Amino acid sequence: MTCARRVTLFVLVLLFMPLFPAMATGLAGTVEKILREVRQDQPVPSVDYLKKGEPVNIDCTSYRGDYQGVRISVETHPNSQRVSSVLLEIAGPDRTKEILPAVKRVIGPPRTSSPKQSQYSWEWPKYRTASLHYVRGKGPGEGLTVVSLFYR
């Protein structure tokens, strides 16, 4: 390889290096963005990916959406616009290990975990809980990776 080619290759690597972390975040970055924007006990944010849906519980408002392959369900507290529960679903193979670091950055380390079973859980005072787990489907790669934050 000539010196000019080496320099050109080096310059190209330097130019594209900032893109590698952005590409690596992918699904984890999407999950982190959603969890930072849709916060429990805060008003439902005005974001393009959430639309009002049929309420699940009386006196609550329900929102549904999809953002970069993540299905989102949000429900408010009764007679309020504050978020009570957030449910994220990612169809396909188990992605818990991939998104766990992003979930931890937003809500902290899990209180209990069972990595072999792809299960992680959190608990806080005032009946608030969260989980990250995988639900297996009928065939390989046909399950759901689920992130949920809710009140018990």
Beta strand spans in the chain (E): 50-53, 62-67, 70-76, 83-92, 112-114, 119-124, 128-135, 143-151
Q: What is the dihedral of CA 127, 132, 138, 141, to 10 degrees?
A: 170
* 139 backbone dihedrals φ, ψ, rounded to 5°: -115, 175
Sequential pLDDT tens for the chain (152 residues): 665 555 444 444 444 544 444 444 699 999 999 999 999 999 999 999 999 999 888 999 999 999 999 999 999 999 999 999 999 999 999 999 999 999 999 999 999 999 999 999 999 988 899 999 999 999 888 999 999 999 87
> How many Å apart are CA 35 and CA 130, to the nearest integer?
12
* Among candidate residues 95, 136, 93, 133, the one with its CA nearest the CA of residue 113: 133
Half-sphere exposure of 101 toward its Cβ, with a 13 Å CA cutoff? 8
pLDDT of 126:
82
The pTM of this model reads 0.82
